[in-house]
Amino acid sequence: MNNSRRRFLQQLTLSALAVPALNAYPFPLSHQSSGLANDKPILKVALMGLGGYAERVAEAMQSCTRAKITGLISGTPEKLKTWGAKYNVAEGSRYNYENFDQIKDNPEIDAVYIITPNALHHSQTLRVAKAGKHVICEKPMAINAQEGQEMVDACAAAGVQLLVGYRMRFEPNTLKAVEMRETGKLGKIKFFQGQTGFKIGDPNQWRVNKELAGGGSLMDIGIYAINGARYMVGEDPIWVTAQETKTDFETFKEGVDETILFQLGFPSGAVASCLSTYSMNHLDRFYLVGNDDFVEMQPSTGYGPIKGRTKNGPLNQPHTVHQTVQMDEMAQIILEGKKPILPVDGKVGLQDLKIIDAIYRSCDTGQRQELQLG
- One of 68, 133, 139, 307 is an active-site residue; which one? 139
3-state per-residue secondary structure call for the chain: CCHHHHHHHHHHHHHHHHCHHHCCCCCCCCCCCCCCCCCCCCEEEEEECCCHHHHHHHHHHCCCCCEEEEEEECCCHHHHHHHHHHCCCCHHHEECCCCHHHHHHCCCCCEEEECCCHHHHHHHHHHHHHCCCEEEECCCCCCCHHHHHHHHHHHHHHCCCEEECCHHHHCHHHHHHHHHHHCCCCCCEEEEEEEEECCCCCCCCHHHCHHHHCCCHHHHHHHHHHHHHHHHHCCCCCEEEEEEECCCCCCCCCCCCCEEEEEEECCCCCEEEEEEECCCCCEEEEEEEECCCEEEECCCCCCCCCCEEECCEECCCCCCCHHHHHHHHHHHHHHHCCCCCCCCEHHHHHHHHHHHHHHHHHHHHCCCEECCCC
Q: Which among 95, 113, 166, 224 is annotated as catalytic? A: 224
**Residue 150 CB coordination number (10 Å):** 16
| Cross-strand partners of 294 | 289
Question: Distance from CA of residue 298 to its chain's centroid?
Answer: 18
Q: Is 347 a catalytic residue?
A: no
139 is catalytic: yes
Catalytic residue numbers read 139, 224
